[in-house]
């Protein structure tokens, strides 16, 4: 008799699950329309990337013009259907950081991805192959390749390089820190800094610049390198003063490198966070989307 009662219970449970699925499908068109309207109302926010003077305005305009609003709306809607807890404001933060990532990927040979939700937004874009290829072609004349690693990998060196590039190209604010976590958790990048200060431009291009950059991408790389040629380690007081005047984290970085490791003047931006751990498989993609370290990645650009 007990097995009959169990079977009845299973049938009832299955019925209610089926009912919930059917109700969800009935509500999906209404949710799609709501998500589309919310995206349209806040679309202008996705055009603001708040770069430093390393990234020229023309490069920003090229990216924004290439990434069409209707394509973004489609991807945005699919993302929110998949992750309904995310508000449009939160998704717009992911859009900003994905656009910044695309700018870096257009300049450098390889950039690792360190946020799982930014990566998910990119994954959804890739499902629309025609639109994605048109975006890449219009932006830089070639496809920005997504290279999955299969299993997440701990990459502190690659994360330091990501940070090294990011803080020179873009402003660092609360959104940056929420998405990527604090910068330079696994080293200050002193070897990189010395290399970019002392090595010839041609050699640096061969090693770090993408093999087929657009003319705008090459200009960004040259501006990026020039910054390290200009700011030498004997100018620490100038950097600190510049940072206080502008809150530009790129100046803060130069000062941070020249400081003693025990100095926590820039702890809000840079340095080790003792709450990080390396044991989770919900890989460290920084900020609020992960409970593990921010130096693991599951994909990269090429």
Lowest mean pLDDT among 4-13, 62-71, 177-186: 4-13
Task: Report, as an integer, the average pLDDT of 243-252.
Answer: 70
The answer to whether 301 and 109 are in contact (CB under 8 A) is: no
> Would you place residue 288 in the very low, low, confident or very high pLDDT band (cuts 50, 70, 90)?
very low
Lowest mean pLDDT among 27-36, 262-271, 289-298: 289-298
Task: List, for residues 105-144, the tens digit of each pLDDT value.
Answer: 999 999 999 999 999 999 999 999 999 999 999 999 999 9
Task: Report, as an integer, the average pLDDT of 190-206.
Answer: 94
What is the spatial distance between Cα 110 and Cα 274, in angstroms, rounded to a whole number? 28
The answer to whether 243 and 259 are in contact (CB under 8 A) is: no
**Mean pLDDT across the chain, nearest whole number?**
84
Reported in sequence order, the residue ranges of the chain that DSSP labels E, i.e. its strands, are 146-154, 296-301
Q: How many CA atoms lie within 13 A of 281 on its CB side?
A: 2
CB crowding 106-138: b at 16 or more within 10 Å, else e: bbbeebbbbbbbbbbbbebbeeeeebbeebbee
Tell me the DSSP string of 45-78: GGG---B-TTS-HHHHHHHHHHS-HHHHHHHHHH
Please indicate whether residue 49 or residue 293 has the higher confidence score (pLDDT). 49
Tell me the DSSP string of 275-301: T--S--SS----GGG-SS-TTEEEEEE
The structure tokens listed for 226 are 């020039």
What is the spatial distance between Cα 121 and Cα 271, in angstroms, rounded to a whole number? 28
Task: Report, as an integer, the average pLDDT of 11-35.
Answer: 68
Question: Cα 119 vs. chain centroid, distance in angstroms?
Answer: 8
Lowest mean pLDDT among 201-215, 255-269, 272-286: 272-286
Give me the phi and psi of 67, to 5 degrees please.
-90, 90
| pLDDT value at 26 more than 60 | no
The answer to whether 296 and 153 are in contact (CB under 8 A) is: yes
> Would you place residue 263 in the very low, low, confident or very high pLDDT band (cuts 50, 70, 90)?
confident
């Amino acid at each position: 008799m007990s097995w009959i009662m169990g079977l009845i219970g299973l049938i009832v449970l299955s019925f209610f699950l089926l009912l919930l699925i059917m109700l969800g499908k009935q509500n999906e068109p209404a949710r799609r329309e709501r998500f589309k309207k919310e995206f349209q109302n806040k679309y202008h926010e996705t055009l603001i990337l708040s770069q430093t003077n390393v990234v020229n305005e023309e490069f920003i305009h090229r990216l924004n013009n290439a990434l069409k609003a209707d394509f973004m709306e489609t991807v945005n809607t699919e993302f929110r259907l998949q992750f309904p807890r995310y508000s449009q404001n939160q998704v717009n933060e992911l859009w900003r950081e994905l656009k910044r990532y695309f700018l870096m990927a257009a300049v450098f040979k390889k950039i690792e991805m360190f946020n799982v939700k930014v990566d998910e937004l990119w994954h959804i874009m890739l499902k629309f192959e025609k639109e994605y290829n048109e975006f890449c072609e219009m932006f830089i004349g070639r496809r920005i390749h997504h290279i999955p690693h299969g299993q997440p990998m701990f990459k502190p060196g690659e994360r330091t390089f990501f940070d090294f590039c990011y803080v020179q190209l873009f402003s660092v604010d609360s959104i940056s820190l929420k998405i990527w976590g604090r910068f330079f958790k696994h080293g200050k990048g002193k070897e990189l800094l010395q290399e970019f200060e002392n090595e010839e431009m041609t050699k640096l291009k061969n090693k770090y610049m993408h093999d087929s950059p657009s003319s705008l991408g090459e200009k960004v790389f040259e501006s990026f390198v020039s910054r390290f040629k200009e700011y030498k380690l004997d100018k620490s007081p100038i950097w600190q003063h510049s940072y206080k005047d502008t809150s530009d984290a790129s100046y803060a970085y130069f000062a941070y490198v020249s400081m003693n490791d025990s100095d926590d003047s820039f702890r809000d931006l840079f340095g080790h966070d003792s709450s990080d751990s390396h044991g989770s498989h919900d890989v460290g993609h920084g900020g609020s989307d992960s409970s593990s370290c921010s130096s693991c990645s599951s994909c990269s650009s090429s």
